[in-house]
């Protein structure tokens, strides 16, 4: 685990209970993203605090600009760490892909120097618990939230498959008090070796399994699938800027084709209404 939810952290003001079709931030929260990004880039760092959990040793930065005070998680891992390739730039690229696909599940994330070192700074979000807490403490999920939670699980798997995220865990899936799902920790994403371009992370023949059983994305929003179809080198490059290289962008496009082929096969076998909503 690289970031835990035992800290109380501030999310955009929750002013609406209506959910965006593809994600978990509300329309009002989404409208604040540019302002939050600018704040993270320019606000004064007034203090910092080590986060005592996590391989990448993130630091919580407390920021102030005028009368506004917020905080964020800063990290700058790069290269091999404990047998895993890490990159702070992938945190930013994941957020930019989230925006491009209109997923709306990753908090605003920008580049920010701290003590002279470049790194990623992600807006710190309020979470009631993590997916792991729900499992370990056997917390009951309200019946009215079950369908949405299942949908978000499959959407997360599809997104992770597309970006080649090799580190989705129960700890880095956060759940708000009203059971919205927020995704953090993407510094092990955008793998580009053959292992990660010949197979998806999830799906019928995916790399991730529960024992011998594949972890599927059983149903997905039509709008998300259409956004994936529209991905090309130029619009990805425009979104991620310097944070991904050509090989990493081309790897996304290879996974895109694998993903669309799997969706096409699912629709053929089960019917479109069973797979897309």
Tens of pLDDT, residues 45-65: 999 999 877 667 899 999 999
Q: What angle do CA 25, 230, 251 make, to 5 degrees?
A: 90
User: Phi and psi dihedrals of 198, rounded to 5?
Assistant: -90, -25
User: 13-16, long-range: CB within 8 Å, 24+ apart, which pairs?
Assistant: 14/176, 14/178
How is residue 132 written in tokens? 């792991």
**pLDDT tens, position by position, 92-129:** 999 999 999 999 999 999 999 999 999 999 999 878 88
Q: Given this model, what pLDDT does residue 128 score?
A: 86
Q: Given this model, what pLDDT does residue 125 score?
A: 87
Taking CA atoms, 80 is separated from 85, 86, 185, in Å, by 4, 6, 16
Share of the chain above pLDDT 90, in %: 81
d(CA 276, CA 82): 39
Q: Given this model, what pLDDT does residue 255 score?
A: 98
Domains of the chain by residue range: 145-169+191-275
Taking CA atoms, 143 is separated from 58, 181, 210, 218, in Å, by 35, 16, 25, 20
Q: Given this model, what pLDDT does residue 277 score?
A: 95
Query: Does residue 267 have a pLDDT over 90?
Result: yes
Query: Does residue 89 have a pLDDT over 70?
Result: yes
d(CA 76, CA 56): 8
Q: How does residue 4 score in pLDDT terms, banded at 50, 70 and 90?
A: very low
| Beta strand residue intervals within the chain, DSSP E | 44-50, 59-65, 68-75, 78-81, 84-87, 109-111, 120-123, 129-130, 173-175, 181-183, 209-210, 213-214
- Mean pLDDT of all residues in the chain? 90
Q: Given this model, what pLDDT does residue 6 score?
A: 32
User: 178-181, long-range: CB within 8 Å, 24+ apart, which pairs?
Assistant: 178/14, 178/17, 179/141, 179/142, 179/145, 179/148, 179/149, 180/19, 180/24, 180/25, 181/24, 181/105, 181/149, 181/152, 181/153, 181/156
Q: Given this model, what pLDDT does residue 45 score?
A: 98
Cα-Cα-Cα-Cα dihedral sign, residues 266, 259, 217, 177: negative
* Selection from 12, 214, 224 nearest residue 124 by Cα: 12
Q: Given this model, what pLDDT does residue 51 score?
A: 86
């Amino acid at each position: 685990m690289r970031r835990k939810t035992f800290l109380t952290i501030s999310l955009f003001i929750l002013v609406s209970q209506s959910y965006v079709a593809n994600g978990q931030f509300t329309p009002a929260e989404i409208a604040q993203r540019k302002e939050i990004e600018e704040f993270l880039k320019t606000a004064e760092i007034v203090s910092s605090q080590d986060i005592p959990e996590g391989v990448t040793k993130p630091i919580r930065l407390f920021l102030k600009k005028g009368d506004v005070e917020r905080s964020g998680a800063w990290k700058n891992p790069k290269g091999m760490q404990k047998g895993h390739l890490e990159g702070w730039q992938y945190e930013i690229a994941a957020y930019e892909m989230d925006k491009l696909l209109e997923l709306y599940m990753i908090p605003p994330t920008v580049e920010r120097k701290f003590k002279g070192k470049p790194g990623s700074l992600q807006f710190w979000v309020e979470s009631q618990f993590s997916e792991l807490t729900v499992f370990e403490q056997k917390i009951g999920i309200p019946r009215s939230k079950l369908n949405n939670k299942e949908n978000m699980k499959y959407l997360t798997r599809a997104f992770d498959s597309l970006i080649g995220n090799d580190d989705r865990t129960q700890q880095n899936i956060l759940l708000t008090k009203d059971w919205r799902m927020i995704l953090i920790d993407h510094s092990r994403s955008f793998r580009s070796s053959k292992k990660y371009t010949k197979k998806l992370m999830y799906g019928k023949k995916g790399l991730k399994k529960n024992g011998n059983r594949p972890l599927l994305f059983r149903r997905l929003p039509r709008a998300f699938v259409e956004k994936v179809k529209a991905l090309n080198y130029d619009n990805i490059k425009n979104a991620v800027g310097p944070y991904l290289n050509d090989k990493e962008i081309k790897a996304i496009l290879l996974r895109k084709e694998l993903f669309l082929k799997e969706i096409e096969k699912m629709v053929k076998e089960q019917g479109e209404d069973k797979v897309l909503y």
